[in-house]
Amino acid sequence: MITDTPVAAGRARRGQTLPLSEVFGPTFQGEGPFTGYRARFVRLGGCNLSCGAGAAPMVCDTEYTWNSAKFDLAVECPETRTTAILEHAGRISAPITVLTGGEPMTHQRKPAFTELLTGLRDLGQVHVETNGTIPPAADAHDLVDHFTVSPKLTNTGDPAGKRLKPRALAAFAAEAPGKAVFKFVVATPDELTEVDRLVDEYSIPHPAVWIMPEGRTAARVLACHRSLADAILTRGYNTTTRLHMLLWPEEDRGR
Ligand code: SF4
């Protein structure tokens, strides 16, 4: 049961910095097992992958958090004190904070990251969205309530050795389905066989697998989802839509 918490500023006060893209909410978590829950989002800059770089359309929908060839990251993701991030987050009333990116786990060894998680815990549950390439260190593991792990498939363009890190995937799989779930973005039924291989290889429990349709428009999300639904059911996986694409199709930030 997730309960709302009083708006508060958090207890971290020392003011280390992290590259911050945006803090927004309240909105709805649009993807995965917590779809529809009210949430605040904290989006950090930086990523260790480059999904779809150079492709059209671009696979990554938050390219402004990491692609220095196209964006001025000092402007898009300025170094921001954790106190300021927590103050902003604390003004948003929601039971869940979704910490996302970019790839937020690239910062997990920084004292600022621990400060941020510690402060966000004062506001309610902390959920981290990750590409699953970096196993959680002890602090991150203990301070995060839930990980949504989204391993990237061949369709994202990065080589397998870069996007699939066995030690990290095994670490997250060991936490599934209690503390971690796996969310795969799939465009065609054929791509589900690639998911099947990963699920088998890393012994990911089927109840921890969520298939999400690819798509940047409501029409594309719905059409893709319909094409996948039966095959998802047959395999015993779960599924999720992309709620924010259906509700706010014209708004690609702050939703
Ligand atoms: S891992 Fe996520 S944020 Fe990083 S490039 Fe891929 S889609 Fe974008």
Sheet of strand 146-149, all strands in order from the earlier edge strand to the far edge: 79-81, 17-28, 38-44, 96-100, 125-130, 146-149, 180-186, 209-213, 238-239
Ligand 1 center to residue 253 CA distance, Å? 15
In the prediction, which pLDDT does 252 show? 73
Q: In angstroms, how far apart are the furthest CA atoms of the chain?
A: 51
Q: Specify the fold of 17-247.
A: TIM Barrel (3.20.20)
pLDDT at position 6 over 70: no
Say if strands 79-81 and 96-100 run parallel, antiparallel, or are unpaired.
unpaired
Ligand 1 center to residue 63 CA distance, Å? 7
| Residue the block writes with tokens 């709805």 | 28
The mean per-residue pLDDT over the stretch 241-254 comes to 86
pLDDT at position 16 over 60: yes
Ligand 1 center to residue 156 CA distance, Å? 9
* Residue 207 counted as an annotated binding residue: no
- For a mutational test of ligand 1's pocket, the pick from 22, 31, 41, 47, i.e. the residue with the most ligand atoms closer than 8 A to its C-beta, is 47
Q: Please give the residue that has the higher pLDDT: either 8 or 199.
A: 199
What's the pLDDT tens digit per position in 139-177? 999 999 999 999 999 989 899 999 999 999 999 999 999
Instruction: Using pLDDT thresholds of 50, 70 and 90, give the confidence band for residue 8.
Output: very low
Instruction: Using pLDDT thresholds of 50, 70 and 90, give the confidence band for residue 254.
Output: confident
* Residue 15 counted as an annotated binding residue: no
pLDDT at position 53 over 80: no
Nearest atom in ligand 1 to 163's CA: 1
In the prediction, which pLDDT does 51 show? 92
pLDDT at position 105 over 60: yes
Q: Measuring from atom 3 of ligand 1, which residue has the nearest CA?
A: 102
In the prediction, which pLDDT does 12 show? 42
Residues having CB closer than 6 A to ligand 1 are 47, 49-51, 60, 62, 101-103, 131, 152
The mean per-residue pLDDT over the stretch 211-217 comes to 93
The mean per-residue pLDDT over the stretch 10-27 comes to 81
The DSSP annotation for 160-209 comes to HHHH--HHHHHHHHTTTTTTEEEEEEESSGGGHHHHHHHHHHTT--GGGE
In the prediction, which pLDDT does 216 show? 86
Instruction: Using pLDDT thresholds of 50, 70 and 90, give the confidence band for residue 255.
Output: confident
- Return mean pLDDT, the chain: 92
The mean per-residue pLDDT over the stretch 73-100 comes to 98
- For a mutational test of ligand 1's pocket, the pick from 131, 150, 252, i.e. the residue with the most ligand atoms closer than 8 A to its C-beta, is 131
* Residue 77 counted as an annotated binding residue: no
